[in-house]
Structures are given as structure tokens and as C-alpha cells.
Amino acid sequence: MSTKVVMEALSPTMEEGRLVKWTKAVGDAVKAGETLAEVETDKAVMELVARADGQLLQQAVKEGDTVPVGDVVGYIGAPGETVAASGAAAPAVSVQPSAVSAQPAAVRPQPAAVSQQPSAVATGPVAVADATRVKASPLARRIARETGVDLRLLHGSGPGGRVVRKDLEGAAAVPVPRPSSPVPVAVSGAAYEDVPLTQIRKTIAKRLATSLGPVPHFFLTSEVDMERAAEAREALNRQLGDQGKEKISFNDIILKAVALALTRHRACNAWWQDDHIRFWNEVHLGMAVAVEDGLITPVLRDADRRPLSEIGAVARELAQRARERRLKPEEYTGSTFSVSNLGMFDIDQFTAVINPPEAGIVAVGAIVPKPVVVDGEVTVRRRVRLTMSCDHRVIDGATGAAFLRTLKQMLENPLAMLL
């Protein structure tokens, strides 16, 4: 009986792999654990190893072919043995049938229900699940599922590195809200209404309490003239409109300006890491998005390197999926700095709470026309107030002020962004 060699999930996110090179030829003796082939995953080139002893009977895919995880790439068996007729096209793979037969035969006393249980669970790359398995208590798994925490990013404090509930309490996790949650409804006559905390609300509470309390905040505010940015935006949008493309918003311009300003003020693009400070060379901007029962901060990766039009598209797409709660964990973790905008709520100015371990966040108010003195004359200009919250352990007053000044200059003179 030959054993199938299947494309294994060699990274947690891998869905397919390109077989770069066979390291065993047909007819070669192989032992379980020996490398059969090199496979390029979405992240790296990895080794595909034999799961059985014997001889490589067949290479079912050519070098360079890309194969979905779970598909057969070859067969191992006894010398001279022929491969079962099902061939290379067999869709998925079976793991050892004995693993399947370990299913409990009887479950509960309902005999009818039991007899309807499928007796075998033969599809799906079960074996690979172990390779990426995170040891976590069932409760920790449930909380992680409900709050959207990626268990792989955590260090478990339980026996053998098991992730337990307490490890999730301090996790750098941003919740994925559940589709429905109790919304407080005013009940006439009642002095108050007690509404239980949802998981997302609990997480927000915990996370923000670990911010304002332990993080020594200070705040810097600057009013920025947006008139030239507005002119630039109108010009750009005319052009984009002619090309049938999506228009850019003030927020896109602010995101882009913040990202560029950060590249010039690395001191503000940093994480507080208790015993060290990590200064980032990449700029990943968290953008706070209000969702039905909380907020979530999707990450605009490499914001400094993306063109303005792309920032707009990506930001809208992320925000949309955030509201639909369809973000993947890696799409809301790993930001280096954040921006929060409440301009649409007609808030002139506010202070935002830092999202640890980041060291700063910029709070954007509404853009409002104001009488200002320009060149000795009172005139009406569109103005916005930006407030930066800084973690004083990372950013000093002057450091923050310098960053904010650069940001102001870029917005007031969009051409400066090109410098």
C-alpha cells in the first residue's frame, strides 16, 4: 500500500506551494523525516519531508509547478509497488485512516443521532494541523476566537507554553467584534440600564486602561491651514474623475502626510518595549475606525511608500471590511503609529489615547472655515486642528513638536511632500 505525499501547509497562511526542486529521484530510498523536495511558500522556501519509509515511487508534479495544500505530489511505497490508480489528481488527502477511526463510536444515548454521524472524516490535510498547532487551553481558544486575537503571536505562560486565559488579558490584540451585541436602549422610566460588557468592550476597556494609566501622555496641538491642500485635492480629483478613478479625501492626504512626516521623524515612529525602544523604519499606520459596538484599528501598511490614490483605496477598503468585521488578524496588528479622525462628527479638536506599544497618535478634528489674518488681511480659510498624543517615555516635547511642525508644513504646502 503506497503512501501519498501531499503538499503540506508549511506556513500558517500557506494555501498553495510551488515545488521548486525534487531532492529525491524516483526509485530513491527514503526514510520518514528525510527531505523530498523544496517548496516555496508564501513566505519562504521550505522542505517537504517524507512521512513514510520506502522508495519514492512517483513524482506526481513537475518542478516549478504550483500545487494547492493537500494535493498529492508523489507516492512512497515498497520497491516495485505500483501506485494506486487514483493518481495525482486526487483532490485531498488522506491522513492515516487509523487516525480517523479514533472517532468515538458512541456519543450520547441518542442512537439515531449517532448512526447518522459520518463514520469517517477522511478529507482535509489533518496532518498539517499539528505542524502549526498552538498549545492553548480551550477557554483561551474561545476568547481568542471571540476577540480576534492571533494565538500564534502570544507567549503561553501555562505548562509547556500553553496559552491560557491570563495570557490573553495583556495581549496586543485588537478585537474582531461579533456581529451582534447588545445596544443600550433607553427604557422609559428606568433610572439606568445595566448592559453586560461585550467581549470587544471588555478588551477596549482593558487595553485603554493600560494606556492612559501607565503611559505618561502629553499632548501637542497645532492648527493647520488646509486651503492649499484643498486646492491640490480639487485639482487631483478633477484629474482622477476624468480617468474614472476614485477621488481622494482630506483624510487620505492627512494619512499620507503623517506617513511621510514619520519617515523624517523616526523618533516618533517607535514602540515602547519596556526594556527597550523599537524605532521602526517602516511606517504602518493604524487608522481608528468606529464600528457598531466599538472601534478597531486596521493597518495601512507601508503608508509612506504608497501613492495617494492607493492610500485612499486601501483605507476605504480596510474601513469597509472593519465595519463588516472581516479583517484578518494581520490586518489590524502591527501598526507603528496611529491616526484618529473625528472630523466627520464635527469635533474641532480632541485628544486620542495612545494604542500601546506605539508612542504616538494624531487626532484630527473637523476642517472648518475660519476667519484668519493672511498677509495683514482678515480672510476665511479652511483650517484643521491636529492634536498629537505622545508617550513621554519615547517622545520628548521638542521631538513631538518637530514632527508636528513637519506635518503642518506638508499639509500647508503639499508640494513639500515631494521633497
Q: Which residues are catalytic?
A: 392, 396
Q: How many degrees, rounded to 5, is the angle at CA 95 between CA 93 and CA 100?
A: 120
| Cα first-last separation, the chain | 68
- How much is the CA Rg of the chain, to the nearest whole Å? 28
Minimum CB distance to other proteins, residue 110 (Å)? 8
Minimum CB distance to other proteins, residue 209 (Å)? 21
* CB of 115 or CB of 188, closer to other proteins: 115
Minimum CB distance to other proteins, residue 203 (Å)? 17
* CB of 142 or CB of 321, closer to other proteins: 142
Give me 366's grid cell: 473637523
Which whole-number Å values give the CA distances from 294 to 13, 131, 203, 358, in the listed order?
28, 35, 10, 20
**Residue 116, burial from CB neighbour count under 10 angstroms (0-12, 13-18, 19+):** exposed
Per CB under 8 A, the segment of 48-56, 153-161, 190-198, 271-279 that binds other proteins is 153-161
Listed as own residue / partner, the contacts of 167-171 with beta carbons closer than 8 Å and 24 or more positions apart are 167/140, 168/140, 168/143, 168/144, 169/206, 170/210
* CB of 21 or CB of 133, closer to other proteins: 133
The single residue among 124, 158, 294, 334 that binds other proteins, judged by CB under 8 A, is 158
Per rule CB under 8 A, is residue 354 in the interface with other proteins?
no
Rounded CA-CA distance 31/390 in Å is 58
* CB of 120 or CB of 139, closer to other proteins: 139
* CB of 199 or CB of 387, closer to other proteins: 199
User: CB–CB of 388/224 below 8 Å?
Assistant: no
Choose among 318, 326, 309: nearest CA to 285: 318
* CB of 168 or CB of 386, closer to other proteins: 168
| Residue that the C-alpha cell 498552538 belongs to | 134
Minimum CB distance to other proteins, residue 158 (Å)? 6
| Residue that the C-alpha cell 517602516 belongs to | 282
* CB of 111 or CB of 216, closer to other proteins: 111
Per CB under 8 A, the segment of 61-69, 163-171, 377-385, 402-410 that binds other proteins is 163-171
Q: Which residues have a Cβ under 8 Å from the Cβ of 260 and sit 6 or more positions away?
A: 304, 410, 417
Per rule CB under 8 A, is residue 12 in the interface with other proteins?
no
Give the total of residues touching other proteins (CB under 8 A): 15
Per CB under 8 A, the segment of 60-68, 156-164, 221-229, 313-321 that binds other proteins is 156-164
* CB of 6 or CB of 140, closer to other proteins: 140
Residues 219-247 as b/e (b if ≥16 CB within 10 A, e otherwise) read ebebebbbbebbebbeebeeebeeeeeee
Tell me the HSE value of 278 on the side-chain side, using a 13 A CA sphere. Answer: 14
Minimum CB distance to other proteins, residue 147 (Å)? 13
123-152 residues near other proteins, rule: CB under 8 A = 137-142
Minimum CB distance to other proteins, residue 308 (Å)? 45
Q: What are the backbone dihedrals phi and psi of residue 406, each rounded to the nearest 5 degrees, phi first?
A: -60, -45
Rounded CA-CA distance 295/396 in Å is 28
Per rule CB under 8 A, is residue 157 in the interface with other proteins?
yes
Minimum CB distance to other proteins, residue 269 (Å)? 37
Instruction: Convert residues 374-403 into a mask of x (bound to other proteins by CB under 8 A) and - (unbound).
Output: ------------------------------
User: CB–CB of 253/414 below 8 Å?
Assistant: yes
The single residue among 159, 160, 213, 376 that binds other proteins, judged by CB under 8 A, is 159
Minimum CB distance to other proteins, residue 55 (Å)? 42
**Residue 340 DSSP one-character state:** E
64-123 residues near other proteins, rule: CB under 8 A = 109, 111-112
Which residues sit at the interface with other proteins, rule CB under 8 A? 109, 111-112, 137-142, 157-159, 164-166
